[in-house]
Structure 1
Amino acid sequence: MSSFRVKGGLKLKGEITPQGAKNEALQILCAVLLTDDLVTIHNIPNIRDANKLIELLADMGVKVNKIGPDSFTFQADDVNLKYLETPDFLKKASALRGSVMILGPLLARFGTGRLSKPGGDKIGRRRLDTHFFGFQKLGAKFEYDAAQEIYKIDGQNLKGAYMLLDEASVTGTANIVMAASMIEGKTTIYNAACEPYLQQLCDMLNRMGAKITGIGSNLLHIEGVKSLSGTDHRLLPDMIEIGSFIGLAAMTQSEITIKNAQIDRLGIIPDTFRRMGIKLEFRGDDIHIPAQDLYEIETFIDGSILNISDAIWPGFTPDLLSIVLVVATQAKGTVLVHQKMFESRLFFVDKLIDMGAQIILCDPHRATVIGLERKNRLRGIRMTSPDIRAGVSLLIAALSAEGTSIIDNIEQIDRGYQYIDQRLNALGADIVRLD
C-alpha cells in the first residue's frame, strides 16, 4: 500500500492540462471489440482503471500497440472466446467495474458473454440490473451463478426492441447501445443517459458505420448494421479532473489556469462552482481561477441555504459532490450537499471533521457544511482514501491544511488521476509518494 505525505498551506500557481476522461475511456476501449479493423484512440489517461482494461483486452486476444504517450491502436480480429472461461479472466474482470461494458460488444459480435461480478469504488450498491434488463429486451438469456458471482449470457438471437430504462445509467446505456449497433432490427432506448461521454461513444460508432440518432437526448434510435469498421477517436478532457482543479485552486488560494478544458462540454459544472463563490474566467477554451482570499456561498433567492445535489446529465455529476463538500469547509456560508445516488459516498467526512471542518452528516445521503471562512485552517492528520473522488477531496483538504498530512491507500486515487502528485508538484505543491 502506498501513501502521500502532503505539506499543507502552500499556494500553487501555473497551468495544468486535464487528462483524458476516465469514464469515456472505459466505454471507448470496450467498443474496439465491435470490429476486426484497426481502431486508434488518443488521449487515453495513464491511470489504473484504463491500464487494467487495456491489459484485459490484450489477454482476450486484441492486438494492442502504443503509438504515442497517450495513443494506442487496437485490432480485435482474433478474439479468444475460450479465455472468457478461464479463472484468470474472471479474476482480472472482477477487479475492474468498467469490464461490464465488454458484454455489449461481445453479444453483438459473437452472441455470447461471460463476466464475474465487477469491482470498483466501495460507495454503496451499484446494481447492474439496467444492463441486463436491456440485454433481455433484445432477446438475451442470462443466468447468474450466485456462488461464484459469474454472469453467463446467451445472445445468439438478439433483435432490436423498444425499451424504457428503469434508470438513466451511463454504463448501462453504453452497453445496450453497443449491443444494439450490430443486431437485426431497430432499437429504441427511452430514458437513455445523455452525458457527453456517451455522446462521444455514439459519434464514434457512427463513424464506424453504425446508425444512431437522437444523440444528446434521452431518446436514442439504433438501426442495426451487419458490421462496423475501424476509426480514429480522441477522448474529451476529464470533466471531473477539471472540477477537482477548480476546487483545489479555491481551497489553497491559488492562481491556476486549466488548459484546453472544452468548456462547451462541461454543462453546469462551472456555474455550480460559481454558486460556491469561486471566480472563474473563460479565456478561449481555458479556465482561469484567480487567487481568492475568501469565497462566499450563495443562498437561494428566498434566502434559504443552498442545496447542491447530483442528478443525471445535464444535472450536476455525482463525482464532483465530494469536491464541492470539501471546498465548502473553508467558504463563507453554509451548504447542504445531497448525494442521492450512492449511500456510502459521504462517509469520508469523518476525516474532514477530524481535520477541524464543521460538518453535520445528516444521514448517508446528506451533509450540511458550515464554512470556516478561513478563520480556522484545517489541520494535517493521517487518513485513508476510501474511493477515487473522496481520495482527491482529502488530498485537496491536506494541501490547504496547516501542517503535514499522510493519505494512505492512494491506489484509489491512482485509479482515476494520472501522475497527480507530479502534476501538482509542478504547480508548487509538496507531495511525496511513500511506498
Structure 2
Amino acid sequence: MAKFIIHGKKTLSGKIAVAGAKNHALKLIPSAILSEQPCVIKNIPLIEDVKLMLEIFEALGGKVDQISDHTFRLHGKTVNSTTIPEHLAKKLRASIMFIGPLLARFGEARFPHPGGCVIGKRPIDIFLDGFEQMGVNIETTDSSYRLRCKKKRPQGAHIIFRRISVTGTENLLMAASMAEGTTELIFSAMEPEVKALAQFLNKRGARIKGAGTTHITIEGASKLRGGETSCIPDRIETGTFAILAAATNSALTITNCDPSMLEVFWLHLKKMGVNLTINEREVVIKPTKKRLQALSEVIIHEYPGLATDLQAPLTVLLTQSQGISLVHETIYEGRLLYTDSLNKMGANIIMCDPHRIVIQGKTPLFGGKISSPDIRAGIALLIAALTAQGKSEIDNIYQINRGYQNIVERLRAVGADIRQTE
C-alpha cells in the first residue's frame, strides 16, 4: 500500500503555487452536459477526484480531449446515457453533480447513493426535495435512485433550503438553468465556487441573478452554448499552505491565489500572531520569534465564515499555540475523529462531543504511524508530521491525493523531507 514517509522539523522556504479549485472543477465538468457545443476548462487540478469525474463524463458518452496539462475540452454532444455507473459513483460523492445537468437536458437521471469521504452521513435529501418541487418524480430502492421529469424538462419553482447546502445549490442551479419558467433558490450557499459556476453558465446563455448571495433567481433558457473558462484558485489549498508555514515557523510565499476569498480565516491567523502579509495574488508568511496564541473559540461556518475544510489543519496549528482553544465544527458530524491520531503524536485534545474539541497548547508533536481518514484530515496529519520531531508514516494516502495535486513534489520543492513509497 502506498504511503508517505516524512521526516519532520524541517524549516521550509520558497514559493508554492496554488492549484485550481477542486470544488470548482468538480462542478464545471458536469456543466458541459448542458450544451451540445464543447466547453474548454483551464487550470483544472490533476487530482484523483477530477480523474473520476472525467471518467464518469466519458461513461455517460461524453468525449474528453486533454489540450495541455491543465486544460481540457469536453464534448457534451455525444452524451447518450443518463445512468451514472455505480462503480464510479461509489468512489466519489461529487458524482451527484451530474444529476442536475442530466435532468435539464434529458429529463431523467439514474444513480446509486454516492460515496466519498466518511465524515458523517452527508444526506442528499436536500436537493432531492428541490428536484421534487421542480416537477421531478423520484423512485428509490435500497441503494439507488431514478429521477424523471413529469414534463419534458424541470419546472421553475420557489425553493427554500432548510439548511445551507453547496452541492444542493449548485445542482439545482444547473437544473434550473434550462428549466421551464423561473426558479428562486432561497437560503442558498454563497461560496465563491457557486458564484463562479453561475458566471460560466451565464456566459453560455443562462439567466442567473444573485449568485454569491442567499437569494438566487434563474430564468430557464431553452438551450445553452459551449464556452471557455478557468478554475478559480483553490482557497482551501491557500489556507492549508498558510497553516503549514505557520506550524513549521517557515518563510513561504503562496502564489496564484485569491486572498479575498479567505478574509475570516486571515483574521483568525492574525489573532494568533501569525506573521503574514496579504497582497492581491499572493500571501507571504514569515517566521516569528513570538509564541503563537490560542483562540478561545473557533466556530466553523458556511461561507463567508471559517471553512469546515480548514478546520482540521487549523486544529494542528492550535496544538502549537500557547493556551486553550475550543473548536466547534458546526457543519459535519464525525469530522473530529482524526484528533485521536494527533493525540498519539503528542497533542492534548479533548473531545467534548461529536462537534466540539478543546485543545491545550503548546505541545510538542512526535512522528508515528498514522492513517489518512479523509482529504482534509489527511492533509492536517501531513502538516502535523512535517511539524513533528522524527519520522512519520502516513498510509491511505489516496485520500490526500484525491484533493491535492502533486503534493509530494510541491512540498519537496520548498524543503520538506517527504517521499511516497508504493
What's the secondary structure of 2:418's corresponding residue?
A: strand
Q: 1:133 aligns with which of 116, 129, 134?
A: 129
Q: CA deviation at 1:264?
A: 2.1
**1:312 pairs with 2:289:** no
Q: CA deviation at 1:294?
A: 4.0
Q: 1:208 aligns with which of 204, 210, 213?
A: 204
Q: 1:386 aligns with which of 370, 373, 385?
A: 373
Q: CA deviation at 1:90?
A: 1.6
What's the secondary structure of 1:368's corresponding residue?
A: strand
Aligned ranges for residues 208-247 of structure 1 at < 5 Å?
208-247=204-243
Task: For structure 1, list consecutive stretches of 5 or more residues without a partner in the other structure.
Answer: 300-305
Stretch deviating more after TM superposition (106-115 or 338-347): 338-347
Q: CA deviation at 1:295?
A: 3.8
Aligned ranges for residues 145-164 of structure 1 at < 5 Å?
145-146=141-142, 149-157=143-151, 158-164=154-160
Aligned ranges for residues 17-32 of structure 1 at < 5 Å?
17-32=17-32
Aligned residue identity for 1:91:
H
2:313 counterpart residue number: 323
Stretch deviating more after TM superposition (329-338 or 397-406): 329-338
Q: Which runs of 4+ in 1 moved over 6 A?
A: none
1:283 counterpart residue number: 279
1:5 counterpart residue number: 5
What's the secondary structure of 2:239's corresponding residue?
A: helix
- Does the 8 A contact of 2:111 with 2:144 survive in 1? yes
- Does the 8 A contact of 1:34 with 1:228 survive in 2? yes
What TM-score does the superposition give when structure 2 sets the normalisation length? 0.97
- Does the 8 A contact of 2:294 with 2:321 survive in 1? no
1:336 counterpart residue number: 326
What TM-score does the superposition give when structure 1 sets the normalisation length? 0.94
- Does the 8 A contact of 2:258 with 2:280 survive in 1? no
Instruction: Give the distance between the partners of 1:109 and 1:50, measured in 2 at CA.
Output: 22
Stretch deviating more after TM superposition (216-225 or 335-344): 335-344
- Does the 8 A contact of 2:294 with 2:322 survive in 1? no
Aligned residue identity for 2:374:
D
1:347 counterpart residue number: 337
Q: CA deviation at 1:298?
A: 5.8
**1:170 pairs with 2:166:** yes
Q: CA deviation at 1:269?
A: 2.0
**1:368 pairs with 2:358:** yes
- Does the 8 A contact of 1:38 with 1:231 survive in 2? yes
Distance 1:349-1:71 versus aligned 2 partners, 3 A rule? same
**1:377 pairs with 2:373:** no
Aligned residue identity for 2:343:
I
Distance 1:234-1:336 versus aligned 2 partners, 3 A rule? same
Distance 1:312-1:283 versus aligned 2 partners, 3 A rule? closer
- Does the 8 A contact of 1:112 with 1:156 survive in 2? no
**1:111 pairs with 2:110:** no
Instruction: Give the distance between the partners of 1:80 and 1:241, measured in 2 at CA.
Output: 35
Instruction: Give the distance between the partners of 1:37 and 1:337, measured in 2 at CA.
Output: 47
Q: 1:428 aligns with which of 411, 415, 418?
A: 415
RMSD: 1.2
